[in-house]
C-alpha cells in the first residue's frame, strides 16, 4: 500500500482546527473528503501538528496511504481540484517510505506569529495577523524572547487544559524581528505545548508595551505559574510555517512541486 507525504497551505479562518472536533469543519476532514472524491477511498490523514481553530499553515505536513498507486502530480492536482472552494491547497506531493510518519518523524516545527503594529485597521491582513495600534518596542521583545530559549519548564505558558505529559520543552530559537509595521515572531522546537506560542506572544506584547521588562519574562518563566503569563494572543496571527525532517526521513521518490 503506497504512502504519500503532502505539504499543505491553508487559511484556518472558519475551521475548528486541523483535527476533527465534532462541532464544525476541520482541515483534516476537508482533505479526507477530497481523497474520497478523487479515488473513492476512505482514508485517515495524519498531520504533523494539530493547529487550533483559526490558526493558519504555510507548511503543514501529513501522510496518508492509498490502496492504489497514484502519480504524485496527479494526486496533488486532483486533491486541489476536489478541495475547492475550501481555502486548503496541496503544495507538494511525494511518495514516502512505508514507515514514514508525519508527526513522529518530525525533528523541528517552526511557528510564525504576525503582528501588524499601526494605528490604522487592517484590510488585507484581517484575520491573518494581530492588529495592535499601540506602539511596540520590538527590541525589548527580542531581548525578552531570548530568555526563553533552551530547555525549560513552560508551565507559565501552557494552556490549563493542555494534555501533554510534561511541561518541559526545548525552544531551539525564539526570534523577534520588525519590518515596517509588521513584527514577526518565530519559534523553533521539536514540539510545543497547547497554546505555548500564543501565550508567549501575549506576554511579549506586554514587554513591547512597556508593561513588563525583559527580565520580567524570565521571572514569569521561573514561576511556573500560568497566572504569571500575559494574555493568549489571538489565533489569527499564528502560522505553522514549516515542519522539518531528518534527511533519512525525507521522501526521495517521485517528488512533485511544480
Q: Which residues are catalytic?
A: 52
The closest alpha carbon to 11, from 56, 44, 67, 45, belongs to 56
Sign of CA pseudo-dihedral 25, 31, 37, 43: negative
Residue 124 pLDDT > 70: yes
Q: How far is CA 24 from the centre of its chain?
A: 19
More confident residue, 250 or 29: 29
Same fold, 3-105 and 108-241: yes
Task: Give dist(CA 57, CA 70) in Å, integer.
Answer: 25
- pLDDT of 21 reads 82
* Model confidence pLDDT, tens digit, residues 201-258: 999 999 999 999 999 999 999 999 999 999 999 999 999 999 999 986 565 444 444 4
To the nearest whole number, what is the mean pLDDT of the chain? 94
Contacts of 84 (CB under 8 A, 6+ apart): none
| Whole-prediction pTM | 0.93
- Residues 81-91: pLDDT tens digits? 999 999 999 99
Give the residue among 162, 27, 154 at the shortest CA–CA distance from 174: 154
Pick the CATH number of 3-105 from 3.40.50.300, 3.30.1330.60, 3.40.50.10890, 3.30.70.580: 3.30.70.580
Q: Are strands 130-132 and 238-244 parallel, antiparallel or unpaired?
A: unpaired
pLDDT digit string, tens, across residues 34-49? 999 999 989 999 999 9
Question: What's the fold here for domain 108-241?
Answer: Alpha-Beta Plaits (3.30.70)
Q: How far apart are CA 188 and CA 109, in angstroms?
A: 6
Enumerate the H helices of the chain as residue ranges. 27-39, 72-83, 138-146, 196-208, 214-223
Domain boundary assignment for the chain: 3-105, 108-241
Amino acid at each position: 500500500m503506497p504512502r504519500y507525504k503532502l505539504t499543505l497551505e491553508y487559511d484556518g479562518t472558519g475551521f475548528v482546527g486541523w483535527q476533527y472536533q465534532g462541532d464544525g469543519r476541520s482541515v483534516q476532514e476537508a482533505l479526507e473528503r477530497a481523497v474520497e472524491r478523487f479515488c473513492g477511498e476512505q482514508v485517515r490523514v495524519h498531520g504533523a501538528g494539530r493547529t487550533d481553530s483559526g490558526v493558519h499553515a504555510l507548511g503543514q505536513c501529513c501522510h496518508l496511504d492509498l490502496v492504489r498507486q497514484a502519480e504524485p502530480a496527479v494526486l496533488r492536482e486532483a486533491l486541489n481540484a476536489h478541495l475547492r472552494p475550501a481555502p486548503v491547497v496541496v503544495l507538494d506531493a511525494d511518495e514516502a517510505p512505508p514507515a514514514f510518519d508525519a508527526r513522529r518523524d518530525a525533528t523541528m516545527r517552526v511557528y510564525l506569529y504576525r503582528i501588524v503594529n499601526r494605528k490604522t485597521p487592517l484590510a488585507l491582513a484581517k484575520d491573518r495577523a494581530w492588529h495592535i495600534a499601540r506602539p511596540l518596542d520590538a527590541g525589548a521583545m527580542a531581548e525578552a524572547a531570548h530568555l526563553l530559549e533552551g530547555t525549560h519548564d513552560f508551565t507559565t505558558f501552557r494552556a490549563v487544559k493542555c494534555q501533554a505529559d510534561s511541561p518541559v520543552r526545548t525552544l531551539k530559537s525564539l526570534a523577534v524581528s520588525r519590518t515596517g509595521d509588521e513584527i514577526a515572531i518565530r519559534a523553533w522546537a521539536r514540539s510545543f505545548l497547547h497554546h505555548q506560542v500564543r501565550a508567549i506572544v501575549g506576554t511579549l506584547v506586554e514587554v513591547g508595551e512597556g508593561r513588563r521588562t525583559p527580565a520580567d519574562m524570565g521571572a514569569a518563566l521561573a514561576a511556573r505559574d500560568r497566572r504569571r503569563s500575559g494574555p493568549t494572543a489571538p489565533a489569527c496571527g499564528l502560522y505553522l510555517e514549516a515542519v522539518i525532517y531528518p534527511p533519512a526521513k525525507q521522501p526521495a521518490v517521485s517528488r512533485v512541486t511544480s
